[in-house]
Amino acid sequence: MATFVEGTVRVTVPATSANLGPGFDTLGLALDLRDELSGEVTDGGIEVVVTGCGADEVPLDESHLVVRAMRMGFRAMGAEPQGFVLTCTNRIPHTRGLGSSSAAIIGGLVLARAMVAGGQLLLDDDAIFRLAAGLEGHPDNVAPAMYGGFTIAGHDGERWFSVNVPVDPRVTAVAFVPSEPVSTKVARGLLPATVPHGEAAANAGRAALLVAALSGRPELLLAATEDKLHQDYREPAMPESLALIRALRADGVPSVVSGAGPTVLALTDVAAVEALVARAPQGWDAHHLVIDTEGARVE
């Protein structure tokens, strides 16, 4: 029978940006904007307390995404607490393309593991990643949320995989976050069932170049972040985002739709951050977000 840790356990998990232009459903980057989750085992029932982003929109029962992830983690370890209190402090904007759902899933799994004595022996990091990718359905956000940094992730038909690639320390990011959300379902619904072979080939080349650019050749980031596979198709749902991307790229700033959008992510160096932040459209928030190298962690 599993033994549970006494007292409160606290976990933080970073925001993520997936796709990064050409790396659709494959490439992801962790960003230092962290949700905080805490849990404590009790004698019965669950209590969910949420503050911050999305606090008035999420359920406070078993259907809460963090609770679902925790239940999955407990089952994988053969541990079922009689009850627990979950407190979520959300800093990652919801439905903006910054990986809030992946943060919830990874955070819930890591929190459940931390609440079980010896949980690291029962459920290692790779097992958590595989569970999270299966629940999320694609790995591009859950991989950097789990491992931190820049990840290349996918599914080979039998298993989920993820590889970390170092990021050049000169690279940092600015996220332009609009006030209005776009759901992932709506954004994905705009994508065609097929694309021209030439566009697919161009994206494959750009995705490969992006790995080299992020890991040590940042001067290539503008060319490496060019996308022909998904961003333009999504323009009807986020016209202001695509307009901002085109304006930034015209000025030589590597810019992409973050995840399913509508957030715009610009990759830059520290010297250019202040000027970039000033370019946020009216009503948008701009955040300087450094690359997070740690991923989810127990505090």
- For residue 293, CA distances in Å to 10, 12, 14, 170, 290 come to 19, 13, 10, 14, 9
Q: What percent of the chain has pLDDT above 70?
A: 100
Question: Is residue 183 over pLDDT 90?
Answer: no
Q: How far apart are CA 183 and CA 159, in angstroms?
A: 27
C-alpha–C-alpha distance, residues 11 and 5, integer Å: 14
Residue 166's pLDDT is 96
Dump pLDDT digits (tens) for 8-62.
999 999 999 999 999 999 999 999 999 999 999 999 899 999 999 999 999 999 9
Beta-carbon contacts of 179 under 8 Å, excluding residues fewer than 6 positions away, are 283, 284, 285
* Paired strand residues for 125: none
Mutual angle of helices 100-115 and 125-136, in 10-degree steps: 140
**Cβ–Cβ < 8 Å for 263, 240:** no
Q: Which residues contact 34 (CB under 8 A, 6 or more apart)?
A: 12, 13, 14, 15, 91, 92, 292
Give CA angle at 83 (82, 85), nearest 5°. 160
Any binding-site annotation on 278? Answer: no
pLDDT at 181 over 90: no
Tokens of 39: 């849990």
Question: What is the average per-residue pLDDT within 111-129?
Answer: 96
Q: Is position 103 annotated in a ligand binding site?
A: yes
Percent of the chain with pLDDT over 90: 90
Count Cβ atoms below 10 Å from residue 99 Cβ, excluding itself.
31
Fold type of domain 172-289: Alpha-Beta Plaits (3.30.70)
Task: Write the pLDDT tens digit of every residue in 241-263.
Answer: 999 999 999 999 999 999 999 99
Q: What pLDDT score was predicted for residue 87?
A: 98
Residue 94 assigned ligand-binding role: yes
The answer to whether 134 is annotated as binding is no
For the chain, where do the domains classified as CATH 3.30.70.890 start and end? 172-289
Q: What fold, for 9-166+294-298?
A: Ribosomal Protein S5; domain 2 (3.30.230)
Please tell me whether 107 is known to bind a ligand.
no
Q: Is 162 annotated as a binding residue?
A: no
Q: What is the mean pLDDT of the chain?
A: 95
Domain span(s) for CATH 3.30.230.10 in the chain = 9-166+294-298
Q: Is 101 annotated as a binding residue?
A: yes
Is residue 139 scored above 80 in pLDDT?
yes
